[in-house]
A and B are shown apart, each in its own frame.
Chain A
Amino acid sequence: MGLNTTKPHANSLGAMQADFRRWLAEADESAAERLPLADRRGLSVYQNNYRAQLMDCLEASYTQTLALIGADAFRSAAAHHVDAVPPHSWTLDEYAEGLPGTLAALFPDQPEAADLARLELALAEAFVAPDAPALSLADMPDVAWDTATLRLVPSATFLALSTNAADIWAALNREEAPPAADHDGGVRALILWRHDFTCCFQPMDAQEAALLPRLATGLRFETMCEELVEALGPDHGIALAGELLARWSQAGLLRHPDR
């Protein structure tokens, strides 16, 4: 790092950084040649670090997807992604977001790979979603239900999968062989959330698929009861409202209305 009396390269700092980016992200040799370097031995170190960091991020973010399609196929897809999609955000967490799209494009005959990646991504996002006090069964007697608004905890999100990726995830999570891919079952609607520090997901039946998305913006409990009574009659409607409320509270899906 000795002093050099040559005046700085005609590049300004910004131009140098732009060329460095082209070298890292595109392996652009002409950009590397323009860099005003006294010693070029380290160029490959930086490019290796750059690629290794992104590959490690993708492998760590999609362990189940890697297990499903195999390490070689996953790394090949990840390398393709690194070549095609440079990182933009200050957080590496965001870099993982684009991989499901890349997998969908690379494996059109294996949509379960992209579905599984979408599920893994959603679980990772729920893991660090904002905290909020959840409504528990023990809280229920103290809530003014005639005025209460039901809201989902902030981590709750919805996924529509075209395959049995949720079953595949569950099997891999138990370290069991995954079931054969099923592409024919139609859309599987899932709700996914974090209960305390554990991320969960479950399929929604038709009734839940109609109601739960409305809880994302808030639905008065009284309104839900009225709608269920109108659809099912007073006995069944009220019973179902109570059953759903208990089920969702037990699962930690509902935000406490007063906290």
Chain B
Amino acid sequence: MTSPLAPLFGLGLRKPHYHDFLEGDVPVDFVEVISENFMVPGGRPRDVLRRVREKHPVALHGVSMSIGSADGIDRDYLLRLRALADEVEPMLVSDHLCWTRTGGFNSHDLLPLPYTEEALDVVCRNVDRAQDILRRALVIENPSSYLAFTGAEMTEWEFIAALCQRTGCGLLLDVNNIHVSAVNHGFDAHAYVAGVPLEQVRQIHLAGHTQGRELLIDTHDQPVPDPVWALFGTVMRKLGTDVAVMIERDDNIPPLADLLDELDVARSIARNGSPAWA
């Protein structure tokens, strides 16, 4: 059992582990699912989600809301997401600070936003509308990015702070994304952590990345690396509220036991400020 303000520790639900979650007793406090994978009329995906939900609280994590679209928000998408959320009764509904859609084109990639007043107005308007349609607060994840725009009028953390303040949305702090973007763009990850509204953090993602030719790439195909663990320790020392922490692995997926071991490292850092082996 966890105390009301203790962190929760969970994993993303991925196909290679369906059997473990359905037939076993996996020691996690919650699972996160990719919303779009279950926004289907019926069949096995919905059955899996129903059965997992009987065992665990579920967080819905989306990739297609496109809250940064200048075109506005996709009402049909949000109504489908609301229907899923009404059935699942999730602990959180989240998506990314990015855009994926413009003029009827959907990139299926999390594309970067310029941190301008104009973009902030667009994102706030879209988040307000999404929260109205969903009838629940959204939780927005900080992105990893490979581009920076000229004409930025604020830093990413200032943008996020303003977004949270204006819309009341929560923050999903992806510690790996902070590290990846800090390395790619040359900013101080600790300044980022100091600048975001930690009281709004509802969830934390931990993941691994890959060194590309010139940039770090957010691949989610590796164990959580030491710099990300270290930054996670910093975040957990500053957080004064309950938060749901999870390992996010989307490719090169290992046996569930390996991810549970990584989750134990997260528990240790959250409890002691450092991993058990340090």
CB atoms of A53 and B109 under 8 A apart: yes
CB atoms of B107 and A50 under 8 A apart: yes
- A35–B147 Cα gap in the complex (Å)? 11
On chain A, the residues within 8 Å of B151 by CB distance are: 4, 6-9, 36
CB atoms of A2 and B186 under 8 A apart: yes
A11-41 interface code vs B (CB 8 A; 1 in, 0 out): 0111011101100110000000001111111
User: Which residue of A4, A37, A194 contacts B43 across the interface (Cβ within 8 Å)?
Assistant: A194
A36 to chain B, nearest CB (A): 5
- A115–B235 Cα gap in the complex (Å)? 54
A194 to chain B, nearest CB (A): 6
Q: Which of A72-125 contact B (CB under 8 A)?
A: 86-93, 95
- A86–B107 Cα gap in the complex (Å)? 8
A50 to chain B, nearest CB (A): 5
Instruction: Assess whether A42 is interfacial by the CB under 8 Å rule.
Output: yes
On chain B, the residues within 8 Å of A197 by CB distance are: 43-44, 47
Stretch from A61-69, A127-135, A161-169, A226-234 at the B interface: A127-135
Given the contacts A12-B70, A21-B102, A42 and B43 also touching, CB distance less than 8 Å: no
Instruction: Assess whether A54 is interfacial by the CB under 8 Å rule.
Output: yes
CB atoms of B114 and A36 under 8 A apart: yes
User: Which residue of A6, A12, A21, A41 contacts B150 across the interface (Cβ within 8 Å)?
Assistant: A6
On chain A, the residues within 8 Å of B101 by CB distance are: 90
- A36–B153 Cα gap in the complex (Å)? 13
A26 to chain B, nearest CB (A): 10
CB atoms of B99 and A17 under 8 A apart: yes
Given the contacts A1-B185, A14-B71, A128 and B42 also touching, CB distance less than 8 Å: yes
Instruction: Assess whether B24 is interfacial by the CB under 8 Å rule.
Output: no
- A53–B64 Cα gap in the complex (Å)? 14
Instruction: Assess whether B52 is interfacial by the CB under 8 Å rule.
Output: no
CB atoms of B105 and A86 under 8 A apart: yes
Q: Which of A129-165 contact B (CB under 8 A)?
A: 129-131, 154-155
CB atoms of B187 and A2 under 8 A apart: yes
Instruction: Assess whether A3 is interfacial by the CB under 8 Å rule.
Output: yes
Given the contacts A13-B118, A13-B119, A53-B108, A128 and B70 also touching, CB distance less than 8 Å: no
- A113–B102 Cα gap in the complex (Å)? 33
Instruction: Assess whether B184 is interfacial by the CB under 8 Å rule.
Output: yes
Interface size class on chain A is 35 or more
- A246–B150 Cα gap in the complex (Å)? 70
Instruction: Assess whether A177 is interfacial by the CB under 8 Å rule.
Output: no
Instruction: Assess whether B152 is interfacial by the CB under 8 Å rule.
Output: yes
User: Which residue of B107, B116, B148 contacts A1 across the interface (Cβ within 8 Å)?
Assistant: B148
- A168–B101 Cα gap in the complex (Å)? 38
CB atoms of B77 and A128 under 8 A apart: no
- Chain B residue, CB-CB nearest to A5: B151
Interface size class on chain B is 35 or more
CB atoms of B155 and A25 under 8 A apart: no
Given the contacts A39-B185, A128-B43, A129-B42, A1 and B155 also touching, CB distance less than 8 Å: yes
Interface of B is mostly: loop
CB atoms of B118 and A12 under 8 A apart: yes
- A20–B112 Cα gap in the complex (Å)? 10
CB atoms of B109 and A1 under 8 A apart: no
Q: Which of B48-94 contact A (CB under 8 A)?
A: 64, 66, 68-71, 74, 77
- Chain A residue, CB-CB nearest to B74: A90
On chain B, the residues within 8 Å of A50 by CB distance are: 107-109
CB atoms of A38 and B148 under 8 A apart: yes
B157 to chain A, nearest CB (A): 10
User: Which residue of A2, A8, A9, A93 contacts B153 across the interface (Cβ within 8 Å)?
Assistant: A8
B33 to chain A, nearest CB (A): 15
On chain B, the residues within 8 Å of A93 by CB distance are: 40
Given the contacts A3-B152, A14-B71, A42-B145, A131 and B42 also touching, CB distance less than 8 Å: yes
B152 to chain A, nearest CB (A): 5
On chain B, the residues within 8 Å of A9 by CB distance are: 149-151
On chain A, the residues within 8 Å of B44 by CB distance are: 127-128, 197
- Chain A residue, CB-CB nearest to B40: A128
On chain A, the residues within 8 Å of B217 by CB distance are: 45
With A21-B103, A131-B41 known, 5 other A-B pairs at CB within 8 A are: A1-B155, A8-B153, A90-B74, A91-B39, A128-B40
* Chain A positions near chain B (C-beta within 8 angstroms): 1-4, 6-9, 12-14, 16-18, 20-21, 24-25, 35-43, 45-46, 49-50, 53-54, 57, 86-93, 95, 126-131, 154-155, 194, 197
5 contacting pairs across A/B (C-beta < 8 A): A36-B151, A89-B106, A90-B74, A127-B43, A129-B41
The 7 closest A-B pairs by CB, nearest first: A42-B146, A14-B70, A8-B151, A1-B185, A131-B42, A128-B40, A17-B102
